[in-house]
Amino acid sequence: MKLQNAIEQANLAVVPYMMAGDGGLDQLEKQMQLLSDAGATAIELGIPFSDPVADGPVIQKAGARALADNISLEQILDVLTMSKIEIPLVVMSYFNPIYHLGVEKFIELAKKTPIKGLIIPDLPYEHRDFILPHLENTDIALIPLISLTSPKERMKMIAKQAQGFIYAVTVNGTTGERAVFGDKIDENLIYLKTISSVPVLAGFGISNLEHVARFSAVCDGVIVGSKVVQLLHEGKHAELSKFINEASKTR
């Protein structure tokens, strides 16, 4: 199923983030199946990188654990070619690992997997042509991120070209659990909904059902990262499954 279709068909799209290789590549399929069985709409799959500038401490540590096991992007893609996951996967990778592997090789491998979306947080909108032409004739969407500080004209420009969904960043800073969010994010999300032809999902800092309920009122879904990564690392699978299941029924 295409990514946008999966999100649009969900009651509330819940996209858990996990770090590929944290716990070993032999656990990757089991971890993804756990999230899928719990009711995830799609899964955002992080690629370990040595300089993860957008990531908070929990996700940084997960990436470091994977790197300590010498896990690479190519190894992850090779495992994903054998995946039986039926929901879409969205790869979140910094540009360096993709460039190191080779953009064309990366896309060719990705086409053989359940990957339906691609997020590259350090690739500016103005440089999207490093990737976009290679995605022609595939069903892989290049997902844009829009920050709190983006002016409305830039939001319009990015939204006009958006594929799959818009990743609306809810905080100024890195990923990680937050106690509170600024009021401006609600205004941003409502505005993005009026100008976007694709779903709008909120991400960064969302870690409990109260956060999910808040954002469900103003957008199409949520992305949950640090909480998912920590619970997977601690082996708290029942707690994680319950959270995703309840989050998906919030609206």
Catalytic residues, which ones? Answer: 44, 55
Question: Is the model's pLDDT at 176 over the cut of 70?
Answer: no
166-169: Cβ within 8 A, 24+ apart? 166/192, 166/196, 166/198, 166/199, 166/200, 166/201, 167/119, 167/143, 167/201, 167/203, 167/223, 168/192, 168/200, 168/201, 168/202, 168/203, 168/219, 169/145, 169/203, 169/204
Quote the pLDDT of residue 28: 98
Span 22-57, pLDDT tens digits: 999 999 999 999 999 999 999 999 999 998 887 889
pLDDT band at 182 (very low <50, low <70, confident <90, very high): low
Quote the pLDDT of residue 180: 55
Does a structural domain hold residue 184? yes
Quote the pLDDT of residue 246: 96
- Count of structural domains within the chain: 1
CATH code of the domain containing 41: 3.20.20.70
What's the whole-number average pLDDT of the chain? 93
If you average pLDDT over residues 221-236, what whole number do you get? 96
If you average pLDDT over residues 105-112, what whole number do you get? 97
pLDDT band at 181 (very low <50, low <70, confident <90, very high): low
Does a structural domain hold residue 223? yes
User: Domain span at residue 165?
Assistant: 3-246
Which range of 175-179, 184-188, 193-197 scores highest in mean pLDDT? It is 193-197
Does a structural domain hold residue 155? yes
Of the candidates 62, 59, 140, 50, which has an alpha carbon nearest to the alpha carbon of residue 96? 50
Report the 10 Å Cβ neighbour count for 104: 9
Does a structural domain hold residue 251? no
